[in-house]
A and B are shown apart, each in its own frame.
Chain A
């Protein structure tokens, strides 16, 4: 099973109340687009109880095409890392 945005929209409708499906869908979209806009400007996001999102600069490094084995240069780029919070880690690993 995979949870999608539609499932989140249903949950917001049920739990928040007073929103039409359309309004709830717009709200879920707004939450993710607000996060995307922040990350696009290099801002870090810290959601307590969930985790942190951080844009990291990756420098160029040699790599290989896994299909052909050819050596290629991987260009410098930005990558996004997600670090789950300790609360989420222990939620997923009860009794540890």
Chain B
């Protein structure tokens, strides 16, 4: 889902024009970026939290050539998933007091899918995108 698809889905659900939904969605992400610029964390209950992490300079290596390179100090956003979303992506019912159950079974892609090269589980296959919710 891209930002414009997010805008379309929000517009449809909230019965807004795309233009208004776009301003709202952009305002939200812009405000979050502004907060991170000020080194502020962002806490969205049920979704997750963003914090700004500061990294010291270090001597790294160019992974291709092995040459040592100096890496300047930097700050990067770090996202920690919220409890509700973590449970949902693991196929558990949402909500704190919902009874725990086994995650929904995730089947391996069937024969035709298995014949194409797979990126060894680092990326989700599209075949899996319909088995939850």
How many angstroms between the C-alpha atoms of A96 and B74 in the bound complex?
A: 9
Interface residues on A, range: 35 or more
Least Cβ–Cβ distance between B12 and chain A, in angstroms = 10
Interface of A is mostly: mixed
Assess whether A56 is in contact with B75, with CB atoms less than 8 Å apart. Answer: no
Residues of chain B lying within 8 A (CB to CB) of residue A20: none
Assess whether A11 is in contact with B133, with CB atoms less than 8 Å apart. Answer: no
B109 at the interface (CB under 8 A from A): no
Q: Mark A59-95, 1 if CB is under 8 A from B, else 0.
A: 1000000000000000001111110100011011100
Residues of chain B lying within 8 A (CB to CB) of residue A96: 72, 74
How many angstroms between the C-alpha atoms of A44 and B123 in the bound complex?
A: 10
Which residues of A in the span 1-43 have a Cβ within 8 Å of any Cβ on B?
A: 1-5, 7-8, 11-12, 15-16, 18, 24, 26-28, 30-32, 34-43
Pairs A–B under 8 Å by Cβ, sample size 27: A3-B32, A5-B45, A7-B31, A16-B20, A16-B23, A24-B24, A27-B16, A30-B13, A31-B10, A32-B47, A38-B1, A39-B85, A41-B129, A41-B133, A42-B89, A44-B1, A47-B6, A49-B33, A55-B124, A77-B103, A80-B81, A80-B85, A88-B33, A88-B36, A92-B52, A92-B74, A92-B77
